[in-house]
Chain A
Amino acid sequence: MRGVALALWAVVLRQSSVDGRLDLLLRAAFHPLVSAAGGVLLILAVAQVLAGLRSWGDEPDRASRQDRRLSAATAAIAALVIALPPNPSFADLASQRPADDTASETLSFVLPPAQRSLTDWVRMLRSQPDPQLFDGDPVRISGFVLPKPDGPPQLARLLVRCCLADATPVGLPVRWPAGDSLPRADQWLAIEGRMAVEDRRLVVVPERIQPIPRPARPLEP
């Protein structure tokens, strides 16, 4: 029974490396560690099963009955984790977090405007806060819609240092086309357009807005 429980946990670790779950939950640097731990657990599980086969038929004592309850409980949790993949709302998560704090992270090199990601733009504005410098630059970014309590929704990404638990949002204001209804929270959008200065801050003026599915690697380091 203990072997089965260990094997299920091994499956949790291995499967989440394969089915893209880790891309959604952890920073990429930790993925090999999780995958390797799954391998080690699998070896342990096989060894436990082999050891258990030898003592098959022994009368169970109190300790081993307790042991079985423990194994059953952990196996059930592991099965639940396998059966229910995570489906977080990034907008909900971001609304619970304080504003981003990436001031210490600097850009290592500067890309041409049309190749900058949303995160690159935010970092750029942090190190070079004069919006006039970027007026009229072409923009091609993607992100999820993050409603703001004090204004129209922004297009945002989550920055992650370790796992989803420490995610902090970064967002860019967007001038949504007049007349259209505002996009709903959590919708992923790809936006092409230009930067413009509005109230002395930079906003994205979209020329083309296209709904996209959540990307395979939604988190940014």
Chain B
Amino acid sequence: MEFNVLTRLNTAWALFQGLLLEALPFLLIGVLIASLARWFSPGGAWLRRLPAHPVAGPLTGAALGFALPACECGNVPVARRLLVGGAPVGTALGFLFAAPVLNPIVIASTWAAFPDQPWLLLARPLGAVLVALGLALLLRLLPEADLLRTDLLEERRLNQPLASVSLLERRAGVIGLSEDAPPSLPSQPAPTWREVLQHGGREFLNLALLLVAGCALAALVQALLPRQWLLAVGSAPTLSVVALMLLSLVLSVCSSVDAFLALGFAAQITPGALLAFLLLGPVIDIKLVGLLGMLFRGKGLLLTAAGAGLLVLLIGQWVNLWRL
């Protein structure tokens, strides 16, 4: 039975509205909490006292996600604050990569979307911690100077104790400045409610625009892509994991709502592919590349993408061995 193009587009438009109306309240909750966290702005000496242990550091960072729940777009600015404030790199990376999944809102929306799949409620946070830990260990191989952007590194060194940074590395803040103007010390007065409001409003609209694009793409894929095509890809164990990883890169939807998008494909794909979709998107996707560029140099970004892809593929494969 073939339906004409107009009918198809009508259906796609309805799917788009369904996805959008479902996701917008969750996006709003995320933005509200991120704004509140901004109000009680994190900063100060406690950042430098976070553990620097290669394993305990990222785990602590991941646990911070419960205190500062935001989806991955809200996370990048917070992770930058952590790095500038002098927090250990591993801890900040653990937060950056795991917190988009390891927070109450994302877990609640995953549960709302998949009430009949309790294993996912455990596997998603666990997988996210594994990926974050793996990436934090992997990125330790790069020296800080190759990993982080130069401007970020300079600000960071201002906040590190002198004993841990050599005089040659520290270009500003001591006698013998470079000719560049020293970056101003990040003075962080508590923002006024008006600033918080403005920031929150802008963030909501920014993210809503990305959400609209993601929902539109998802609706078009759902309505126009022949079902046999998705089924053929979706039932092959390895191919389905790779295909859904690519899809999560392209869709670039926030972690607080991606579970609802995954629902649309969930019936046609393997469980490993479903988990891979839910794990990879929060760590890296097309929309995030720009945001992560605020933190990493090219090499760091490349290593993050490759490492995340490999780890998620392995986890997806393993889940397929276990669940199929």
Tell me if A6 is interfacial: C-beta within 8 Å of chain B. yes
Q: Which residue of B lies closest to A96 (CB)?
A: B227
**Are B197 and A44 neighbours in the complex by a CB distance under 8 Å?**
yes
Once the chains bind, are B17 and A21 in contact (CB under 8 Å)? yes
* Minimum CB distance partner of B17 in chain A: A86
Given contacts A165-B260, A166-B264, contact A93 B24 (CB under 8 A): no
Residue total for B at the interface (Cβ-Cβ under 8 A)? 49
Let me know if A162 and B22 touch, CB within 8 A. Answer: yes
B112 touches A34 (CB 8 A): no
CB distance A96 to B222 under 8 Å? yes
Given A6-B201, A30-B22, A163-B260: A81 in contact with B17 (beta carbons within 8 A): yes
The closest CB in chain A to the CB of B113 belongs to: A162
Rounded to whole angstroms, the CA-CA distance of A104 and B115 in the bound complex is: 12
Q: Are the C-beta atoms of B209 and A84 separated by less than 8 Å?
A: no
Q: Given the complex, which residues of B lie within 8 Å of A148, measured CB to CB?
A: 1
Query: Is B14 on the interface with A (CB-CB < 8 A)?
Result: yes
From B13, B22, B29, residue with most partner A Cβ within 10 Å: B22
Say yes or no: A88-B231 contact (C-beta < 8 A), given A16-B21, A44-B200, A51-B194. no
Cα distance A198–B18 in the bound complex, in angstroms = 39
Tell me, yes or no, whether A97 is within 8 Å of chain B by CB.
yes
Please tell me the number of chain A residues within 8 Å of chain B, measured between CB atoms.
Answer: 56
The distance from the CB of B88 to the nearest CB of chain A, in whole angstroms, is 32
- Whether B204 and A13, one on each chain, are in contact in the complex, defined by CB atoms closer than 8 angstroms, is no
Q: Contacts of B320 on A, CB cut-off 8 Å?
A: none
For residue A62, give the distance in angstroms from its CB to the closest CB of chain B.
Answer: 14
Q: Does B106 contact A (CB under 8 A)?
A: no
How far is B268's CA from A47's CA once the two chains are assembled, in angstroms? 45
Task: Report whether B209 and A70 are in contact in the complex, using a CB–CB cutoff of 8 Å.
Answer: yes
B35-72 interface mask toward A, CB cutoff 8 Å, 1 = contact, 0 = none?
Answer: 00000000000000000000000000000000000000
A34, A86, A104: the one within 8 Å of B24 (CB): A34
The answer to whether A44 touches B264, judged by C-beta atoms less than 8 angstroms apart, is no
Q: A44-B200, A88-B10 are in contact. Are A161 and B115 (CB under 8 A)?
A: yes
Q: Are A97 and B227 in contact (CB under 8 A)?
A: yes
Chain A residues with Cβ under 8 A from B112's Cβ? 30, 162
Residue in B closest to A30 when the chains form the complex, CB atoms: B22
Could you tell me the distance between the alpha carbons of A85 and B15 in the complex, rounded to whole angstroms? 12
B223 within 8 A of partner (CB): yes
Would you call B11 an interface residue if the criterion is a C-beta within 8 Å of the partner chain's C-beta atoms?
A: yes
A126 interfacial contact with B, CB 8 Å: no
Cβ-defined contact, A97 with B267, below 8 A: yes
**A166 pairs with B266, CB closer than 8 A:** yes
Q: Which residue of A lies closest to B7 (CB)?
A: A89
A9 touches B208 (CB 8 A): yes
Chain B: which residue is nearest A166 at the CB level? B263
7 more contacts with CB within 8 A, not counting A98-B231, A165-B218, are A34-B22, A34-B24, A44-B204, A161-B113, A161-B116, A162-B113, A165-B15
Selected A-B contacts with CB under 8 Å, 24 pairs: A2-B198, A2-B205, A12-B21, A13-B25, A16-B17, A24-B14, A25-B21, A48-B198, A48-B201, A77-B212, A88-B10, A92-B7, A92-B11, A92-B223, A104-B116, A148-B1, A161-B116, A161-B263, A162-B22, A162-B263, A163-B21, A164-B18, A165-B15, A165-B218
Name B residues whose Cβ lies closer than 8 Å to a Cβ of A.
Answer: 1, 3, 7-8, 10-11, 13-15, 17-22, 24-25, 28-29, 32, 112-113, 115-116, 194, 197-198, 200-202, 204-206, 208-209, 212, 218-219, 222-223, 227, 231, 260-261, 263-264, 266-268
Give the interface of A toward B (CB within 8 A): 2-3, 5-6, 9, 12-13, 16, 21-22, 24-26, 30, 33-34, 36-37, 40-41, 44, 47-48, 51, 67, 70-71, 73-74, 77, 81, 84, 86-89, 91-93, 95-98, 101, 104, 147-149, 161-166, 168, 185
